A and B are shown apart, each in its own frame.
Chain A
Amino acid sequence: MKLSHLLSSAFAFGFIATASSANAFCGFYVAKAGTDLFNESSKVALVRDGDRTVITMANDYQGDLTEFAMVIPVPTAIKREQVHISDPALLKHLDAYTAPRLVEYFDDDPCAPQVMYEAMRSSTDVVVMTGTRQRAKSLGVTIEDEFTVGEYDIQLLSATQSDGLMTYLDENGYQVPIGANRILGSYIKQDMKFFIAKVNLEEQSKTGNEYLRPIAVAFESPKFMLPIRLGTLNARGDQDLFVYALTREGQVETTNYRTQKIPTGQELPVYIKDNFPDFYKSMYATSAKRDGGHGVFMEYAWDMGWCDPCAADPLSREELQELGVFWLPDSQNKPMPRGRRIMPQAQNVFVTRLHVRYDAKSFPEDLKFKTTGNKENYQGRYVLRHAYEGEMKCEAATDYKIAVNKRKDEEVKALANLTSWDRAEIWSDIEEAGVGKKFTITYKGDDRGPTWWKDIWGDK
């Protein structure tokens, strides 16, 4: 079958995906697996220090491999040794480590004293992209380099004019939509090169994998950006992009769009434990809506040496190196300690997770980034507080129950505010879930209402 390609929304900044870009995305799980969360999204790890960048692009492409093609504008020429095929588990781990998380706390018996314990969970995933073939000089297209890495045939193109590039792509089986011409022309004038990849079926079968592995590219350029414009051309509605930026100095933010923090720290009704993906999706949408429906949200920013609470262990030295963190000190391969709470380790790597929701209209310009010296830790973290449900036999129990009921009102209010859900519906969901319901308070002697006057005059 001849390659028949279509630009699609699939790969946020790369692009040229084929017709059916089925994206798998597994969402943030709280205990159970499986819900699709942000279903048209891309995942990119960006390692940046000085002018050096290592970009790793996740590839969850699930369609016909003959139709896979990817074109990414890159700031400089790229040679064979600058391209690396990475392990998909790395981005999954990075994603899990930085994912928004739920924390649970359990109240103790108000009639007996204290200990605390926490638990949490989460995870995420994403994306797709696509590729090309050749002819040349007469079209003003130069194949700067051409090589096979892993399961990919890669070409690095430079072009003098967009028409030639369009023709070249077209002759090689890409159906590039009309609008692409202008955008390609703009990139050509900005002296960008084009990184084009497609699957080498022979090599692919040798790997024995069902899936395509991520491509990592290392280059040096003062430009710290992600080209998203091509990806928005044929986009059907909004797209989600996850950027995991790893730096030495601190947080990464966008310079041409406002980076905001995702709401965090709220206490929520405990039934959310089984609805965390729904909750998070609604909360994200509501936050974005308050800013016009789109935006750049920081979901996580943390020193890679530790976490608290940990959604997953911090990445090991080997994993970081594989992702392209090149400034790790030469050390004697100390393994990272495993466990639920990792104590600070001098990794000298700061990770920022940005969740960008965009469309062509609200994000006309490519994303530009900047590393700041801000080492403040931040995480999207939501709290569930379980009331003590056991038998309570003491005076304090009534006060405790009143306090818990009040707390539950607040939790529902907070949830409604974060997600724009209707409060009455939340209460009925709580009722349905059967967890975290309000206490029915019975007062001594069977009369209703509070008994504060008893404290004044005594209980006679």
Chain B
Amino acid sequence: MNIGVKTNAKGGRLRRLFADPRNYQISVLSSLILLGLFRYGLHLPWWHVAGCVGATLTTQFAADKVIKRPFDPRSPLISALSLTLLLRTGSVTLSIAAGVIAIASKYLIRWRGKHIFNPANFGLVLLSLTFGAAWISPGQWGQATLFALLLLALGGVVTGKAKRWDVSLSLLGFYAALVFGRAVWLGDPLAIPIHQMQSGALLIFAFFMISDPKTTPDSRFGRVLFAGLVATVGFSIQFLLFNAAGIILALILCAPLVPFIDHLFPSGRYQWPTQFSLSRKSVTGDSHETLTPAE
């Protein structure tokens, strides 16, 4: 009996901890970083991580002060972790710059109370296009991570923590249709598109970048449409312009269309389920657009 009660209590605490998808995302992204460090020999000095995390937190904190809004560290933390995972640079200054630019974009580039760009995506693309000393390594995750990633991601879908799993899965669906279609047209063996779908960078992008509830369209139909758009643009950049980071570039290119999609297919705006507080009490996000996420 006692054991049962204890388990329930634990389950309750866990449920509360993961009630907000951001907590789940933070734990998964951190695990991926550790995996990268210890299993994949990712060259990631701690001061880069610290610099980037510090930059996003400080920027968010300062901006929240200015617009007088309660500060929540989770969204900037997610942005920082995503940047750390995908942006490669030898310069800590650029890591910090990426963090500042990512968060600043949330406050500066807005349309009807919603920010346009996924912050980490914005920082990532801007930095890698502007500075030679910062780049994206689409191959760094190889293929072997697939299972781990899928497990984590599907775990999120199943438990309903990744609120925007529809956009992730439709992106992968559209992208798969395109690469398999290409293979059939070329007469290539299916091993090739399977290999292409196993790209760790693609999966991280699908589950942890494009799935940001705040920058995807509000309606489900809009999100599926958006995923199709990003997949098509990304595929074109990758296979017609031969840029391996195609899908990441596609998101920044398609993001400005989200307001139009929202206009055409309106739906309720997403709110994070919990407000950050030091007490354990869960509060539903107050009014419109109170909390702004990273991912």
Please list the residues of chain A having a beta carbon within 8 angstroms of any beta carbon in chain B: 182, 185-186, 189-190, 222-224, 249-250, 253-261, 291-292, 361, 364-365, 368, 370, 372-376
Q: Which residues of B contact A250 (CB under 8 A)?
A: 132
Tell me, rounded to whole Å, the shortest Cβ–Cβ distance linking B201 to chain A: 9
Known: A256-B195, A364-B192. A190 touches B186 (CB 8 A): yes
Question: Min CB distance, A315 to chain B, in Å?
Answer: 23
Q: Is the interface of B mostly helix, strand, loop or mixed?
A: loop
Are B192 and A257 in touch, CB under 8 angstroms? no
Q: Are B244 and A370 in contact (CB under 8 A)?
A: yes
The distance from the CB of A254 to the nearest CB of chain B, in whole angstroms, is 5
Residue contact A257 to B139, C-beta cutoff 8 Å: yes
A254 near B139: Cβ-Cβ < 8 Å: yes
Pull 30 A–B residue pairs with CB atoms less than 8 Å apart, ordered by A: A185-B186, A186-B187, A189-B186, A222-B241, A224-B242, A249-B132, A254-B139, A255-B138, A255-B139, A255-B244, A256-B138, A256-B139, A256-B195, A257-B142, A258-B139, A258-B143, A259-B140, A260-B40, A361-B191, A365-B196, A368-B242, A370-B135, A370-B138, A372-B135, A373-B89, A373-B90, A374-B88, A374-B135, A375-B90, A376-B90
CA distance A361 to B189 in the complex (A): 11
CB 8 Å contact bits of B170-193 with A (1 = contact, 0 = none)? 000000000000000111110110
Contact bitstring B240-252, A, C-beta under 8 A = 1, else 0: 0110100000000
Nearest opposing residue in chain B for A368, CB measure? B244
Q: Which residues on the A side are within 8 Å of B139 (C-beta)?
A: 253-259, 370
Among candidates A259, A364, A368, residue contacting B189 with C-beta atoms closer than 8 Å: A364
Residues of chain B contacted by A365 (CB below 8 angstroms) = 192, 195-196
Residues of B that sit less than 8 Å from A by CB: 40-41, 43, 88-90, 131-135, 137-144, 185-189, 191-192, 194-196, 199, 241-242, 244
A364: nearest chain-B partner, CB-CB: B191
Q: Which 7 A-B pairs have the closest CB atoms?
A: A258-B142, A255-B244, A364-B191, A373-B132, A186-B186, A372-B135, A373-B133
Q: Which residues of A contact B133 (CB under 8 A)?
A: 373, 375
The smallest beta-carbon distance between A105 and chain B, in angstroms, is 26
Contacts of B89 in A (CB 8 A): 373
Whether A364 contacts B195 by the Cβ 8 Å rule is: yes
Nearest residue (CB) in A for B240 is A222
**Considering the chains assembled together, what is the distance between the CA atoms of A361 and B41 in angstroms?**
24
B5 to chain A, nearest CB (A): 46
Bound together, the chains give a CA A158 to CA B88 distance in angstroms of 39
Minimum CB distance partner of A181 in chain B: B187
Expressed in whole angstroms, the minimum distance between the Cβ of A418 and any Cβ of chain B is 15
- Complex CA distance for A257 and B144, rounded to whole angstroms: 10
With a cutoff of 8 Å between Cβ atoms, the chain B residues found around residue A186 in the complex are: 186-188
CB distance B135 to A373 under 8 Å? yes
Report the minimum CB–CB distance from B142 to chain A (whole Å): 3
Contacts of A182 in B (CB 8 A): 187-189
Closest to B141 in A: A258
Residues of A within 8 A of B90 (CB): 373-376
Measured between beta carbons, the chain A residues less than 8 angstroms from B189 are 182, 364
CA distance A214 to B144 in the complex (A): 36
B244 touching A223, Cβ below 8 Å: no
Q: Which of A190, A224, A253, A361 has the most CB of B within 10 A?
A: A253
For B43, the chain A residues whose CB sits under 8 A away are 376
Q: Nearest residue in A to B200 (C-beta to C-beta)?
A: A258
Q: Give the chain A neighbours of B187 by CB distance below 8 A.
A: 182, 185-186, 189
* Chain B residues within 8 Å of A370, by CB: 135, 137-139, 244
Residues of A within 8 Å of B41, CB to CB, are: 260-261
Contacts of A258 in B (CB 8 A): 40, 139-144
Bound state CA distance, A260 and B43, in angstroms?
11
Contact check, A256 vs B199: say whether CB atoms are below 8 A apart. Answer: yes
Q: Given the complex, which residues of A lie within 8 Å of B196, measured CB to CB?
A: 256, 365
Among A255, A260, A291, max chain B CB count under 10 A is at: A255
Give A375 to B41 CA distance when docked, in angstroms: 17
A361 vs B195: C-alpha distance when bound (angstroms): 10
Taking CB atoms, residues of chain B closer than 8 Å to A253 are: 137, 139-140
Bound state CA distance, A253 and B245, in angstroms? 13
Using CB atoms, name the residue of chain B closest to A248: B132
Closest B residue by C-beta to A363? B195
- In the bound complex, CA of A361 to CA of B143 (Å): 13
The smallest beta-carbon distance between B95 and chain A, in angstroms, is: 14
Q: What is the CA–CA distance of A247 and B33 in the complex, to the nearest angstrom?
A: 29
Given contacts A255-B139, A261-B41, A373-B135, 9 further A-B contacts (CB under 8 A): A186-B188, A223-B242, A224-B242, A256-B196, A257-B142, A258-B40, A364-B189, A370-B138, A373-B89
The distance from the CB of B68 to the nearest CB of chain A, in whole angstroms, is 40
Contacts of A361 in B (CB 8 A): 191
The distance from the CB of A162 to the nearest CB of chain B, in whole angstroms, is 8
Could you say which residues of chain B place their CB within 8 Å of the CB of A254? 139
CB distance from A297 to the nearest CB of B (A): 11
| Separation of A257 and B131 alpha carbons in the complex (Å) | 24
- The docked-state distance in angstroms from the alpha carbon of A322 to that of B243 is 29
Q: Contact: B199 with A373, CB < 8 Å?
A: no
For the complex, what is the distance from the CA of A198 to the CA of B257, rounded to whole Å?
54
Q: How many angstroms between the C-alpha atoms of A190 and B185 in the bound complex?
A: 10
Min distance, Cβ A276 to any Cβ of chain B, angstroms? 24
A190 to B135, CA, bound (A): 27
CB distance from A327 to the nearest CB of B (A): 14
Chain A: minimal CB distance from B149 (Å): 14
The CB with the most chain B CB atoms within 10 A, among A186, A222, A373, is that of A373
* B191 nearest in chain A by CB position: A364
Which of A189, A260, A364, A373 contacts B185 (CB under 8 A)? A189
Given A185-B187, A364-B191: A372 in contact with B244 (beta carbons within 8 A):
no
Q: Give A376 to B90 CA distance when docked, in angstroms.
A: 8
Which residues of chain B come closer than 8 Å to A189, judged between CB atoms? 185-187
When chains A and B are docked, how far (Å) is the Cα of A256 from the Cα of B143?
9
Which one of B90, B131, B138, B142 has the highest number of Cβ atoms from chain A below 10 Å of its Cβ?
A: B142
Partner of A222, one of B191, B195, B199, B242: B242
**Cα–Cα distance between A49 and B168 once the two chains are bound (Å):** 36
**Given the complex, which residues of A lie within 8 Å of B134, measured CB to CB?**
373
Q: Note all chain B residues with C-beta closer than 8 A to A255.
A: 137-139, 244
Chain B residues near A376 (CB, 8 Å)?
A: 43, 90
A178 CB to closest chain B CB (Å) equals 13
Instruction: Kindly provide the distance from the CB of B199 to the nearest chain A CB, expressed in whole angstroms.
Output: 7
Distance to closest chain A CB from B240 (angstroms) = 9
